[in-house]
Amino acid sequence: MARVLCTVSDFPGFDERADAETLRKAMKGLGTDEESILTLLTSRSNAQLILDDLKSELTGKFEKLIVALMKPSQLYDAYELKHALKGAGTNEKVLTEIIASRTPEELRAIKQVYEEEYGSSLEDDVVGDTSGYYQRMLVVLLQANRDPDVGIDEAQVEQDAQALFQAGELKWGTDEEKFITIFGTRSVSHLRRVFDKYMTISGFQIEETIDRETSGNLEQLLLAVVKSIRSIPAYLAETLYYAMKSHTHSYPLGRKSHMSRICCQIFSWRLTEYIRFQSDTSGDYKKALLRLCGGEDD
């Protein structure tokens, strides 16, 4: 299978004035040169993008995607979280994907931007819109108190793996708090060793136990945490792939800031094929999606 690296890294030889002039010319006059805008914005990192207002020049899904590309990553994540919490319903899929896959440093930045933009605490808004163990896991993650990666204590690894086994497979019922505490506070390298040790002790992958012992939003959140601990790029690539498959691709593909972390060794070729043959992707919008995923636009 072909391995395509999906990257939107800093553009070599970046010239802010030249890019600004390119955008100005593309939007000058009676028509809009969408090809020039598309080429420039899909090849620059968020830090390099010029925050001109393109809304009056573009329309539809292409407009939404390009405007998303222009937003700094923490601002866009804060925006998505706010809209996931806004209104009568809650979009748990958005909460789960963002909060489970961002590093403690990213989460602290998102919380700060969220409060600056919307005048409220992200944690408070999450508590107000969610409940139960799902709420508890989200809050623990948002507190961003993971142990630092400063070496692995094998005795602690053994203890945590045994604790998870006792809290799930060996218990009548499930001690969800034990899963939440270990998954939400231990370092990434420690948890990877815990998952390996858990398999040795129990004979099950930790994902199998989560599937049997939990359900609903908590199950999806715990699985997202485990997948992100194993590999954030693989988790985000999987999220994009299934979003494409379920025809909901406009939401996650707008998050260009994390496209550079999606290596796509498993899913890139599938993503590009889905984009090519989706009936609701066409024109400049389709070209932009293909370029962001590392595919060639036809």
The CATH number of residue 95's host domain is 1.10.220.10
What is the SS3 assignment for 116?
helix
The answer to whether residue 222 is domain-embedded is yes
The answer to whether residue 2 is domain-embedded is no
What is the SS3 assignment for 53?
coil
The pair of three-digit structure tokens given for residue 170, joined into one six-digit string:
């060996």
The answer to whether residue 296 is domain-embedded is no
Instruction: List pLDDT tens digits, range 216-245.
Output: 999 999 999 999 999 888 888 788 767 766
The answer to whether residue 207 is domain-embedded is yes
Name, in order, each residue with C-beta under 8 angstroms of 89's C-beta and a sequence gap of 6 or more.
none
Q: Are 89 and 110 part of one and the same domain?
A: yes
> What pLDDT was estimated at residue 251?
47
Least confidently predicted of 57-66, 110-119, 147-156? 57-66
Domain limit, last residue, from 230, 258, 277:
230
Task: Identify how many contiguous H helices and E strands the chain contains and give both numbers.
Answer: 16, 0
The answer to whether residue 248 is domain-embedded is no
Least confidently predicted of 32-46, 106-120, 216-230, 247-261? 247-261
CA 259 – CA 239 distance, rounded (Å): 12
Dihedral sign of CA atoms 31, 46, 77, 190 in order: positive
pTM of the model: 0.73
DSSP one-letter code for 48: G
Convert 77-86 to b/e letters by CB count within 10 Å (16 or more is b).
bbbbbbebbe
The answer to whether residue 165 is domain-embedded is yes
Highest mean pLDDT, choosing among 67-71, 75-79, 206-210: 206-210
Burial of residue 12, with CB atoms counted within 10 A of its CB: 0-12 exposed, 13-18 middle, 19 or more buried: exposed
Q: Are 125 and 83 part of one and the same domain?
A: yes
> What pLDDT was estimated at residue 4?
40
Q: Work out the pLDDT band at 173, boundaries 50, 70, 90.
A: confident
Phi-psi region of 287 (alpha: psi -120 to 50; beta: other; left: phi over 0): alpha
Q: At what angle do helices 206-213 and 188-202 cross, to 10 degrees?
A: 80
Domain limit, last residue, from 92, 114, 142:
142
Residue among 289, 248, 242, 230 at smallest CA distance from 267: 242
Dihedral Cα 83, 84, 88, 90, nearest 10 deg: 180
Q: Are 226 and 162 part of one and the same domain?
A: yes
CA 144 to the chain's CA centroid = 16
Count of structural domains within the chain? 2
Q: Are 179 and 205 part of one and the same domain?
A: yes
Domain limit, last residue, from 111, 142, 173:
142
Q: Are 124 and 158 part of one and the same domain?
A: no
Query: Count of CB atoms within 10 A of residue 111's CB?
Result: 19
| Position 84 pLDDT exceeds 60 | yes
Least confidently predicted of 23-27, 148-152, 216-220? 23-27
Q: Are 162 and 114 part of one and the same domain?
A: no
Residue type, 296: E
CA 295 – CA 273 distance, rounded (Å): 9
> What pLDDT was estimated at residue 90?
87
Q: Are 133 and 171 part of one and the same domain?
A: no
Q: For 53-114, where are the E strands, in sequence order? A: none
The number of residues making up the chain comes to 298
The answer to whether residue 239 is domain-embedded is no
Q: Are 169 and 194 part of one and the same domain?
A: yes
CA 35 – CA 118 distance, rounded (Å): 35
CA 112 – CA 126 distance, rounded (Å): 15
The answer to whether residue 68 is domain-embedded is no
- Domain assignment of residue 161, given as a range: 154-230
Instruction: List pLDDT tens digits, range 239-279.
Output: 876 776 665 544 455 554 455 445 444 455 556 666 666 65
Q: Are 90 and 121 part of one and the same domain?
A: yes
Q: SS3 for 216-261, per residue?
A: HHHHHHHHHHHHHHHCHHHHHHHHHHHHHHCCCCCCHHHCHHHHHH
